[in-house]
Structure 1
Amino acid sequence: MQRYFVPVEQYGDDSVVLLGDDAHHASRVMRMRAGDSFIASDGKGREALVKASAVSSDRVEGTIVEQLSADREPAWQITIAQSLPKGDKMELIIQKGTEIGAYAFIPFESERMIVQYDAKKEAKRLERWAKIAKEAAEQAHRSRVPDIVKPASWKQLLGMMGDYDLVLFCYEEEGRAGTGGGLRGALEPLKNRRDVRALVVVGPEGGFTDKEAEDARTAGAVVVGLGKRILRTETAGFVALTALLYESGEMGGN
């Protein structure tokens, strides 16, 4: 069943209203008619089965039929800090990371970053990324849309690291020894915990410098490799995210 994330001001006690792109999607793409049902979530824990009562291209009104459980989020809140990649790779990272279960995304600037960051385009880019995250969260039947913060400098990112229970700094040099650079060891203290806030830091196409790795260590990060192979920048975050979710019990078991 089609799902929509609705701003809290459009989500009432007994009714829901879809506006803008959501209303257009419901009426034109999904061919919704009065009497059809959809699921609405306010992204804050409220979720309901809604029956459409009036449908137009710019507004869909609906009546809440049943309150639903909204417990589909991972136990661990895992944020991906991604050095800005070239092209549309960030869109892929946000889309697939949202599907897998990322809690938030922090784009940041690093020394070997290939793309030329343009602050003038920041607002439009953030709007585009937010839309991608919303659509991916709806498709994956998530209970919330991941946060995407404005791009940070390297210094700003270092200052954020103390806010997390675990920071994994993904560094290919740590994986060359073939041991995975201590990823298992880094996760060991978190076993059986349900309230972990973790940050996964991924470098650009050109990788991190030795100085950046040392900076991260000093800021409290655990520098790890992700195996013997060199991963693309758009792949590394998914691997680390999945490993963390597995460790949290997200994939089943204890």
Structure 2
Amino acid sequence: MPLHFVVDAASTAHVGDVVALTGDEAHHAAAVRRVRVGEEVTLGDGRGAWLTGVCEAVAPREVRVRVRDRTLVPAAAPRIVLVQALAKGDRDELAVQAATELGVDEIVPWQASRSVSRWQGPKLVKGVARWSTIAREAAKQAHRAWIPPVATPLGTPGVIERAADARVLLLEPTAERALTALDWPRGEARDILLVVGPEGGIDGAEIDAFEAAGAEPVRMGASVLRTSTAGPAAIAVLSAALGRW
């Protein structure tokens, strides 16, 4: 499979054009992945544009690719949005990486009441940038035409407000209904918000607030999954149920 790179110029490039990779993408292509003149690669803008081309010149600071084919990949509908609680260590980052590889369409950092990690001030900006970088690199590795954006972190009231026009699935090990038992009406266009709590679980008051707002508590199975694996596992189930896979 050709190597895949992300460049804004892919948005406007057409067959026959030459697209230049510069900066980090050029260094990654030339010095890390060691592409060669004549090698086929794919390029994207992370927003649906998909180009196939051949390297015409390779240098550490610039890689030039002649476009041979252009495709516009439509955005998924309904979209799967992961509302991922901030977690200690790198558990939340692992969730972002795996969820992106599995096809999540947007990621919302959630400051849950039981989240040990707290994003405030400069740490908030750094955290969003870190998750965005992880999502970008995972999307490139997975050869995705769309890179899931990382939204501004929200507290529970913000998540509930965001969920007003979506179908909200609350991952809760004690829920009576299984995720695999849900029905999916034809033509459903609402976003699916998949809410995943921190390693201490979702606080009871937050569960009540979500349920009052129309969220559906669902379980994944008999075992209790970590916050780093619950979201990705649920995305795999949803991808099959929605016909993505």
Structure 1 length normalisation: TM-score? Answer: 0.87
Q: 2: CA distance between counterparts of 1:57 and 1:10?
A: 23
Q: 1:152-191 maps to which residues of 2 (within 5 A)?
A: 152-164=154-166, 166-174=167-175, 179=176, 181-185=177-181, 187-188=182-183, 190-191=184-185
Deviations 1:115-142, CA, capped at 9 Å, x for gaps: 2334312222222222221121111121
Q: CA deviation at 1:202?
A: 0.6
Q: TM-score, normalised by structure 2?
A: 0.90
Give the gaps of 5 or more residues in structure 1.
none
Q: Name the structure 1 match of 2:142.
A: 140
Cα gap change, 1:209 to 1:43, in 2 (>3 Å): same
- How far 1:8 moved relative to its partner? 4.0
Q: Which residue of 1 aligns with 2:70?
A: 67
The answer to whether structure 1 residue 7 and structure 2 residue 8 are counterparts is: yes
Superposition deviation, residue 156 in structure 1: 0.8
* Distance (Å, rounded) in 2 between the aligned partners of 1:141 and 1:196: 25
Choose from 16, 19, 22 the match for 2:19.
Answer: 16
Which amino acid is the alignment partner of residue 159 of structure 1?
A: E
Q: CA deviation at 1:11?
A: 4.9
The separation in 1 between residues aligned to 2:190 and 2:11, in whole angstroms, is: 32
The AA in structure 2 aligned to 1:123 is V
Query: Are 1:52 and 2:48 counterparts?
Result: no
- Provide the identity percentage: 32
Q: Which amino acid aligns with 1:6?
A: V
Q: Which structure 2 segments of 5+ residues have no match?
A: none
CA deviations on 1:160-195 (whole Å, 9 max, x unpaired) are 01131x110112222xxxx5x25345x31x243363
Q: CA 1:117/1:40 → structure 2, altered by over 3 Å: closer, same or farther?
A: same
Instruction: Indicate which of 214, 224, 240 corresponds to 2:234.
Output: 240
> Would you say how many aligned residue pairs link Structure 1 and Structure 2?
242
1:214 match: secondary structure: helix
What is the RMSD of the two structures over their aligned residues, measured on CA atoms? 2.1
Shift of 1:196: 4.5
Aligned-pair distance for 1:66?
Answer: 1.9
